[in-house]
Amino acid sequence: MVLRLFFKRKKHVLDENIPSEMKYLIVGLGNPGEKYKNTRHNVGFRVLDDFVKDHDAQFETLKLGDVATVKWKGRTLVLLKPNTFMNLSGKAVNYYLQTEKILLENTLVITDDIALPFGKIRLRGKGSDGGHNGLKDIQSKLNTQSYARLRFGIGEEFGRGRQVDYVLGEWTKEEEDTMDERIHVAKEIIKGFSTIGLNRTMSEWNNK
């Protein structure tokens, strides 16, 4: 009886260390602090803020980031806004992948993208960093480009040498007028990614 209980307990401990296929890490990229709140570079934070609000959850400041947990159709979504600043995003992503024991294929990173026109949204299963410092650091820390990313187009309406000012600038009134609808699409992609999977979600939402 004692041996049987020992083996049962040991199996339970091992099971706890196995990544769950029903658990997802959803990362919104941005910079912490009030001065960056409404900037184009922080659209990842903004999408997660809206998503968490929709599900009556709250962010809590923990190690390396603000974290919230949302239950959705039997899945557990761990939502992360790194507070390491954009250039060190990979440190927070890697930490929560390990700590929460989440599979890499269950990870989605939401980021701004100047290569896409404003409001255009693209979901991809892998790809280069495209010059984005947040994605570059994630790739470096994870040693792979093979993780899903939701690219939210912010356009490239800036002059030569003005890229930093543009991405760290605030949305125009015209952009703000359509943000709610565009963020809605991004939130639907999060839900689709965690339920029907990457490929079906890409097919359904990439042209919306």
Catalytic residues: 41
Alpha-carbon torsion angle 114, 115, 120, 121, nearest 10:
-90
Cα 157 versus chain centre, distance? 25
Residues in the chain: 208
Class of residue 10 by CB neighbours under 10 A (exposed 0-12, middle 13-18, buried 19+): exposed
Q: Using DSSP, state whether 122 is helix, strand or coil.
A: strand
Per-residue tokens: 38: 């409404």
| Secondary structure letter of residue 102 according to DSSP | B
- β-sheet bridge partners, residue 150: 110, 123
For residues 205 and 91, what is the distance between their CA atoms, to the nearest angstrom? 30
Per-residue tokens: 26: 């959803």
For residues 40 and 48, what is the distance between their CA atoms, to the nearest angstrom? 14
Per-residue tokens: 79: 């939502």
For residues 45 and 52, what is the distance between their CA atoms, to the nearest angstrom? 11
